[in-house]
Amino acid sequence: MKSISKRNKYIYWDSTYLWEEYGNLALNSIIQTTKTEKISNNLRINVYLVDQVEIKKLNYKFLNKNYPTDVLSFNYYNGWKNGIPPDILEIFPDEENKDELGEIFISVPIILKQAEENNHSFAKEMSTMAIHGTLHLLGYNHEKKNEEKIMFSKTEKIIKLLNLDT
Instruction: Using the predicted structure, report yes or no on whether residue 61 has a pLDDT greater than 70.
Output: yes
Pairing of strands 44-50, 9-13: parallel
Residue ranges covered by each domain of the chain:
2-161
pLDDT band at 1 (very low <50, low <70, confident <90, very high): very high
What's the CA gap between 49 and 135, in Å, rounded? 17
Instruction: Using the predicted structure, report yes or no on whether residue 36 has a pLDDT greater than 90.
Output: yes
Instruction: Using the predicted structure, report yes or no on whether residue 25 has a pLDDT greater than 70.
Output: yes
Average pLDDT over residues 134-150: 89
Q: What is the pLDDT of residue 39?
A: 86
Q: What is the pLDDT of residue 41?
A: 82
Contact 11, 26 (CB under 8 A): yes
Q: 76-130, pLDDT tens digit by residue?
A: 766 666 666 655 555 555 555 567 888 999 999 999 999 999 998 999 999 999 9
Q: How many CA atoms lie within 13 A of 161 on its CB side?
A: 18
Average pLDDT over residues 42-70: 95
Q: What is the pLDDT of residue 80?
A: 62
Q: What is the pLDDT of residue 78?
A: 64
Percent of the chain with pLDDT over 70: 86
Written out in words, the top-level CATH class of the domain with range 2-161 is alpha beta
- 50 by Cβ neighbours in 10 Å (0-12 / 13-18 / 19+) ranks as buried
Instruction: Using the predicted structure, report yes or no on whether residue 56 has a pLDDT greater than 60.
Output: yes
Q: What is the pLDDT of residue 165?
A: 61
Q: What is the pLDDT of residue 99?
A: 73
Torsion of CA 129, 135, 137, 139, to 10 degrees: -140
Average pLDDT over residues 46-67: 96
